[in-house]
Amino acid sequence: MIKSKLTVLCSNYNSDRWIDGYLASINEQLLDNFEVIFVDANSSDHSLKTIKNYTFREGITKKVIENDNRIGIYEAWNIAIKESQSDFVINFNTDDRLFPGGLLTLYTSMLQNSDTDVIYGTSLIVGDEKHLNIKGVQNWPQHTHALLLQNCICGPFPIVRKSVLINNGLFNPKYTISGDYEMWLRLSKRNYKFKKITDFVGTYYDNPKGVSSDKSTLQEHIRQDTEIRNLYK
């Protein structure tokens, strides 16, 4: 059996509105021989059925893991990481989209930078679900720990060495909103190497109904970010 080049981690929960575009985005990737692991968090819409019925082109392997209980995104990612059959993993949300060359660019960058543990690129910010209305560019600077303490500069399409995540205890599900931010700061504090590439890899949907649209959720997001920064400053 040929080992997969990388694993796409997908946490799915009631993503009917976005799942068709997400699946198409993956199917259009120029990279061959990679896997996608979907971890469903007990969805009540038709998104799980859509995922199970979707047939990817040759060179893409699909695995679907179902849960009887509602689990968080970071629990889902941890399940997928443990099931991964590759050395590199990448996560991106169902309402975001990779450009066709996105995975190939990130994977090639990892091969060319064997001393690097996390690589992130540049993305376009869009304001609509069809990813047509470009609002701006998410062009984070090159990583330093001081900059990372100010903002989660690694999203939305970071590629990471799977061994690094496993050796550092995986994502902490305690942080239900900011678990990825906690992981990047944890790795940064432990002197793992990050690298920013200038290539555009995808589009990030600035969802008007996201975290910042709900006051209580926004407050919890701020609380978690503050606690995490205090842990790793």
Whole-angstrom distance, CA of residue 152 vs CA of residue 185: 9
Tell me the CATH number at 32.
3.90.550.10
- 138 inside domain: yes
Domain, as residue range, for 134 = 7-232
- 64 inside domain: yes
- 2 inside domain: no
Mean of all residue pLDDT scores within the chain: 92
Q: Give the number of other Cβ atoms within 10 Å of residue 178's Cβ.
A: 24
- 227 inside domain: yes
- 1 inside domain: no
**By the 8 A CB rule, do 97 and 22 touch?**
yes
Give me the numbers of helices (H) and strands (E) for the chain, helices first please: 8, 9
- 210 inside domain: yes
Dump pLDDT digits (tens) for 165-192: 999 999 999 999 999 999 999 999 999 9
- 201 inside domain: yes
Dump pLDDT digits (tens) for 82-119: 999 999 999 988 999 999 999 999 999 999 999 999 99
What is the chain's length?
A: 233
Whole-angstrom distance, CA of residue 137 vs CA of residue 115: 28
Q: Which residues contact 174 (CB under 8 A, 6 or more apart)?
A: none
Whole-angstrom distance, CA of residue 58 vs CA of residue 27: 9
- 200 inside domain: yes
- The structural domain count of the chain equals 1
Instruction: Give me the residues paired with residue 155 across strands.
Output: none
